[in-house]
Amino acid sequence: MVAGVVLAGCPTGFRVEPPPLVLLPACSEMDGAAALYIPGTVSGSGAGARMAGDTSRPTVEWLVANPRFVQLMPASLVPEGEEVTLDGTAATTTGILSTDPNVPGNYLPTTAQLQLEAGERTMWARVDVRELCGPNPPRSDLTVWISTRVETTTWSLTP
């Protein structure tokens, strides 16, 4: 009874763990590709994201800080291309170097709001190789912000 009062009065808020930092390959290793697709998975924990009686799953929002260089694509849209191993804070991440023949509708979202499924959710960060390796490359890390209702975390892609 007392524990119930404490939990109801002091919600902690739902939080997510962002994907690990990824180091982007050198431009010489991406020659001929239009885009590099990098999978990013967030996992969630905690309580308080839902109001009492609400049975919906927690929603997580992605927003790219540098839309000229990075866009977002659904995990269900598997790009065609060549697998490439990416270094980072995780052991390795497998990305896909693609010539981008079939971006659906040529639509390149820069934000997405999705519900978690079984406590996690994956999406593709699409790095525009032509912009990344063009005459005006980025001068800082490429940032994807991942937000719950209570906080924002950062996923960094480092050129």
Where does this chain bind another protein (CB under 8 A)?
Answer: 2, 5-6, 9-13, 48-49, 51, 61, 63, 65-68, 71-72, 74, 76-77, 104-105, 107-115, 136, 138-141, 143, 145, 147-154
Nearer to another protein, 84 or 122 (CB): 122
CA distance 97 to 128: 10
Give the torsion sign (CA, 57, 106, 81, 25): negative
For the CB of residue 92, give the shortest distance to another protein in the complex, in Å.
24
Instruction: Look at the chain and count its residues.
Output: 159
Task: Specify the pairing of strand 142-147 against strand 152-158.
Answer: antiparallel
Encoded amino acid at 103, one letter: V
- Estimate to the nearest angstrom the gap between the alpha carbon of 125 and the chain centroid: 6
CA distance 26 to 92: 16
Residue 125: phi, psi to the nearest 5? -90, 125
Nearer to another protein, 28 or 76 (CB): 76
Nearer to another protein, 33 or 70 (CB): 70
For the CB of residue 73, give the shortest distance to another protein in the complex, in Å.
9
Nearer to another protein, 74 or 92 (CB): 74
For the CB of residue 91, give the shortest distance to another protein in the complex, in Å.
24
For the CB of residue 157, give the shortest distance to another protein in the complex, in Å.
13
- Integer-rounded Cα Rg, in Å, for the chain is 18
For the CB of residue 86, give the shortest distance to another protein in the complex, in Å.
21
Encoded amino acid at 72, one letter: L
Nearer to another protein, 80 or 151 (CB): 151
